[in-house]
Structure 1
Amino acid sequence: MSGKKNKRLLGVISIFLWAVILTIVLRSYLEKTGYTLPVFWIVILACVAAFLGWWVYMSVRINHLIKRLDAAGFQYQTTHDEKAYLTELDECAKMPGAEKITLSKMPAKDYLTILKIRTLREAGRTAEASTLLETARTEITNDRARQLLKAEEEQLP
């Protein structure tokens, strides 16, 4: 089993365990108050709560990444400092959850890699852009990202 499948399996198991823990806590609380609710409904409520918690958590991560990427892009457009922009793109790629987040129908890491290649090309650093492009060619599996990668390759001298 690959590492990605293991992470997904661990994610499902963790949500299930949170649902079990919330079920136990909710059941004990309801028994103390004298109100009883069938276990089935408690499990459903716990699963919904775990899912909503995960959803809010991922939304915060996505929002943080987008704000940071937006600020870096704005700074690059105003100062044309490609070194600072590339550093910020690297930091964005290292952010927790960057592998799970999708931007423009492709993984955020692939999106950031393509932005780095484009920035290097536009800055005249074609050797670095070509090296990164060769590395990215083996790592990128998303079809849309591969199309953008091919377009960048065609624009390189």
Structure 2
Amino acid sequence: MEKKIYSYDEAYEASLRYFQGDELAARVWVNKYAVKDSFGNIYEKSPEDMHWRIANEVARIEAKYPNPLSSEELFDLFDHFKYIVPQGSPMTGIGNNYQVASLSNCFVIGVDGEADSYGAIFKVDEEQVQLMKRRGGVGHDLSHIRPKGSPVKNSALTST
């Protein structure tokens, strides 16, 4: 079954109604959280569609356990962000069959051991790029940085 593709204007207008005239909320939702494919085609018209997508996916997993919640029960918890407010990456990634997306929002990265080398810097840089291309935010563990005045093996003799 082919999924309907919505224009930006269709999604924006439906989201504007959903958010009761809040233009910023409607634009942010369409730009950041509506499911899109790699070509920018929009497959959700409003946050209601997103909440059904998430509810259906969570219900699919719930069904594997005793006393599962139904899609309808889950939707009622998500609808209008009443009781459960998924964070950004989960809103985009859960049940998204069009793009690979992280379900986590933020990561703190660093290197175990010696971090003061070109290789370690490039390793952290590569890890950061991979996380960011999948919508992950990145924080850095800077605890390994030498304090000002520490001895270094270059012409400066101390770190700045």
Shorter-normalised TM-score: what interval?
Answer: 0.3 to 0.5
More helix by share: 1
TM-score, scaled to structure 2: 0.32
